Chains A and B, each alone.
Chain A
Amino acid sequence: MPRYHVVVDGKEFDVEVNYRSGQYEVSVNGRPLRVQSHRLGESRSLLLVDNQSLEVDVRINGDGGKIVFMKGMEMSVSVEDYNLAQLRKIAGIHSGPLVEATFRAPMPGLVIDVRVQPGQKVKRGEPLLVIEAMKMENIIKAKGDAIVKATHVRGGQSVEKGDVLLEFE
């Protein structure tokens, strides 16, 4: 029976799924649930969990995970084979990047100012860069304490979303 390790919003789930004689058999963390799923077209479906109705839209996320839209909200979800995930955990390998060594542009825009230099120690909340996007100046602050290894942009430069702006040690 296919078994998945699912992470949503920082929470982990052990989900088993099977399909037999037109019925899904699903259990979450060992708890069996009555689940029905009806396709509504494209990536949308009507999900009934223990008779509770919910319209969901499951799409591929850019980072290889999935994105689930429901009730006007969206959640990033990662799904992995359960056994593989267990092995990975024992081996101590994290999924995704260990530390965010590179700082990427969170939005397309114009770099107004770079407030840090290579070698500089920054504290959480300290301003790193100023980016103008959609006519607003956004001060980008450090998410944690770190040492700046390199800066890849200058003031006046246009950047696309995802461009590497800074590297940390």
Chain B
Amino acid sequence: MSHKINKILIANRGEIAVRVMRACRDLGITSVGVYSECDKTAYHVRMSDEAVYIGNSPSTESYLVQDNIIRAAKETQADAIHPGYGFLAENPEFAQRCLDEGLIFIGPSPETIRLLGDKLQARALALKAGLSVIPGTDLDGRDSKAALQLVRDIGFPILVKAAAGGGGKGMRVVESEALFAEALASASSEAASSFGDGRVFVERYLKRPRHIEIQTLRDQHGNCVYLGERECSIQRRHQKVIEETPSPVVSPELRKRMGEAAVNIVRMSGYVGAGTVEFLVEKDGSFYFLEVNTRLQVEHPITEMVSGLDLVKEQISIAEGKKLTIRQEDVALRGHAIECRIYAEDPSEGFVPSTGRLKNYRPPSGPGVRVDSGVVIFSEIPIYYDPIIAKLVVWGQDRPEAISRARRALEEFRLSGVKTTIGFHRVIMDNKKFLDGDLSTRFLEEEFPDNNYQLFSDDLVERAAIAAALDTFVKERKITLGNGRRSRSTGSSWTTFHRRNNLRSFGGSR
């Protein structure tokens, strides 16, 4: 069953591709990157040992084309494929393709992905595993009128979700009956275009729950551990923005109950690899199963910071058929970690993607700071993919130390060329509710309605005014200088310097 992996093809781009390549290098495994037209000189290509072109810039013509990925793996004689997150990471057909082609897919089996990827089946499995689920119903292809009948019993507000969904796609909150038909149609159309499956179902919409998830690892021999939780309540349109571990509200007792529940469903689904079981948690500590993500999560580094484990190395080792070297009683979580997702988005314009070239890029460093970037200076942020630039991950002995390090690190970023969410994160780090750990999935909409917040201090605004005025002044002045002195300067400053030096020595001036 054991099979040493020597070469891994990473079927992804950006920061996660770089992240996986780093683990490969640590393990002495050769990494193969893949790239689309616009990613020819991307950072992940420069970081890979070998790189293969896989098609045009749109992901449907490159990163999502299974044939091209498989061909690249064959051509480079890779023995395994790491899918990263997004793209083909949770596609059971792709996982099956890999197996059929004799390649190791670093992730769970196609059957497990299929089972857990279908939210309706996952719900049923969770119930069987003894977990609580949110009251809800399958719409089973009913038209909106018939569906409304069913939904009335649950009570508004409700949440419409895609059965094949993920990442907030095909998901709609519906406050009242009047808005139901429209939400149903748009969720279904978005689900169909994103996943090729327009089936939707509804759940009661919990008013102010927290989103807390459990990281699990399970090997091919049935050994399973949970590595604590991650609180991901700070979300915008169901996309996580800031994650932290431990959660400010999870007691050791609750952690144990949630961890054991997660292990139950992971076992029952025959899961192999690193997985994440997501829960919604209410004020009284009751938790409801949401879904299992059958991939490495974007926010995995915070778990690495507190557990000391390298989750990508664990994934690879599990895929090689090795036994977990850690038992539940060995899991020791230390300190506090926070991740801020830095997106190329304009917070002042409703977070629309901001594309372009990074004219300056210098990420922060220093004690307790880790930055997972997919970019370097002069990188182009293409319009075709997720606009994530980097993940800032900070670690502290406790939550207050982690927060001050996050503040420091955010301010230390030097970045120009595109608009980013760095300043917005900086504002959150001073928010009273955030500091109190008083979070819910509605945190952002409640604390920053209409994106209304003071991003810049008065001092900073004044400095910007001075900087801009000086810039104008220097540019205007240069024009006059250039006209007046054109004939004066001949040769480089280097020659001028030496000429002066020579004159000095001849003149004997000491």
Residue of A with least CB distance to B412: A72
A101 contacts the other chain (Cβ, under 8 Å)? Answer: no
Q: Can you list, as one digit per residue, whether each of A11-33 has a CB less than 8 Å from chain B (1) or not (0)?
A: 10101010100001010100001
B304 contacts the other chain (Cβ, under 8 Å)? Answer: no
B462 contacts the other chain (Cβ, under 8 Å)? Answer: yes
Residue of A with least CB distance to B168: A136
Query: Complex formed: what's the CA distance from A161 to B468 in Å?
Result: 26
Please give the distance in Å from B351's CB to the nearest CB on chain A: 9
Q: Given A69-B416, A73-B456, A130-B186, are A28 and B465 neighbors across the interface (CB < 8 Å)?
A: yes
Contact check: which of A43, A49, A106, A135 meets B352 at CB < 8 Å? A106
A71 contacts the other chain (Cβ, under 8 Å)? Answer: yes
A19 lies within 8 A of B462 (CB):
no
Query: Complex formed: what's the CA distance from A42 to B168 in Å?
Result: 41
Please give the distance in Å from A113's CB to the nearest CB on chain B: 8
Q: Given A58-B471, A107-B352, A134-B383, are A75 and B190 neighbors across the interface (CB < 8 Å)?
A: no
B469 contacts the other chain (Cβ, under 8 Å)? Answer: yes
Q: Given A9-B461, A73-B456, are A106 and B414 neighbors across the interface (CB < 8 Å)?
A: no
B466 lies within 8 A of A59 (CB):
no
B360 contacts the other chain (Cβ, under 8 Å)? Answer: yes
What are some 19 contacts across the A-B interface (CB < 8 A)? A2-B473, A4-B469, A8-B461, A8-B465, A13-B462, A13-B469, A15-B465, A44-B360, A49-B463, A56-B463, A68-B468, A69-B360, A71-B411, A74-B423, A107-B353, A130-B186, A134-B353, A135-B194, A136-B237
Contact check: which of A15, A47, A75, A108 meets B461 at CB < 8 Å? A75
Please give the distance in Å from A123's CB to the nearest CB on chain B: 15
Query: Complex formed: what's the CA distance from A66 to B461 in Å?
Result: 13
Please give the distance in Å from A26's CB to the nearest CB on chain B: 6
Chain B residues lying within 8 Å of A112, measured Cβ to Cβ, are 189
Query: Complex formed: what's the CA distance from A8 to B465 in Å?
Result: 6
A167 contacts the other chain (Cβ, under 8 Å)? Answer: no
Query: Complex formed: what's the CA distance from A155 to B186 in Å?
Result: 13
B470 lies within 8 A of A24 (CB):
yes
Please give the distance in Å from A5's CB to the nearest CB on chain B: 9
Please give the distance in Å from B203's CB to the nearest CB on chain A: 20
Please give the distance in Å from A105's CB to the nearest CB on chain B: 9
Query: Complex formed: what's the CA distance from A19 to B414 in Å?
Result: 28
Residue of A with least CB distance to B360: A57
Please give the distance in Å from A89's CB to the nearest CB on chain B: 18
B422 contacts the other chain (Cβ, under 8 Å)? Answer: yes
Please give the distance in Å from B250's CB to the nearest CB on chain A: 30
Interface residues of A in 53-86 (CB under 8 A from B): 54-59, 66-75, 77, 79
Please give the distance in Å from A169's CB to the nearest CB on chain B: 23
Chain B residues lying within 8 Å of A57, measured Cβ to Cβ, are 359-360, 414, 416
Interface footprint category on B? 35 or more
What residues of chain A have their CB less than 8 Å away from a CB belonging to chain B?
2, 4, 6, 8-9, 11, 13, 15, 17, 19, 24, 26, 28, 33, 35, 37, 42-45, 47, 49, 52, 54-59, 66-75, 77, 79, 106-108, 112, 130, 132-138, 161
Query: Complex formed: what's the CA distance from A44 to B470 in Å?
Result: 12
3 pairs of A and B residues whose beta carbons are closest in the complex: A72-B413, A73-B423, A72-B422
Please give the distance in Å from A43's CB to the nearest CB on chain B: 8
Query: Complex formed: what's the CA distance from A75 to B385 in Å?
Result: 25
B286 contacts the other chain (Cβ, under 8 Å)? Answer: no
Chain A residues lying within 8 Å of B473, measured Cβ to Cβ, are 2, 4, 17, 19
Contact check: which of B352, B410, B459 meets A72 at CB < 8 Å? B410
Chain B residues lying within 8 Å of A9, measured Cβ to Cβ, are 455-456, 461, 464
Query: Complex formed: what's the CA distance from A42 to B414 in Å?
Result: 14
Known: A24-B470, A42-B360, A72-B414. 6 other contacts (CB 8 A): A2-B476, A44-B360, A77-B464, A108-B383, A133-B353, A135-B194
Residue of B with least CB distance to A71: B411
B367 contacts the other chain (Cβ, under 8 Å)? Answer: no
B477 contacts the other chain (Cβ, under 8 Å)? Answer: yes
Please give the distance in Å from A86's CB to the nearest CB on chain B: 16
Contact check: which of A43, A68, A134 meets B387 at CB < 8 Å? A134
B460 lies within 8 A of A71 (CB):
yes
Chain B residues lying within 8 Å of A44, measured Cβ to Cβ, are 360, 416
Please give the distance in Å from B458's CB to the nearest CB on chain A: 8
Q: Given A44-B360, A79-B472, A107-B353, are A19 and B477 neighbors across the interface (CB < 8 Å)?
A: yes
A134 lies within 8 A of B414 (CB):
no
Chain A residues lying within 8 Å of B386, measured Cβ to Cβ, are 134-135
A6 lies within 8 A of B359 (CB):
no
Query: Complex formed: what's the CA distance from A156 to B385 in Å?
Result: 20
B426 contacts the other chain (Cβ, under 8 Å)? Answer: yes
B460 lies within 8 A of A70 (CB):
yes
Please give the distance in Å from B418's CB to the nearest CB on chain A: 9
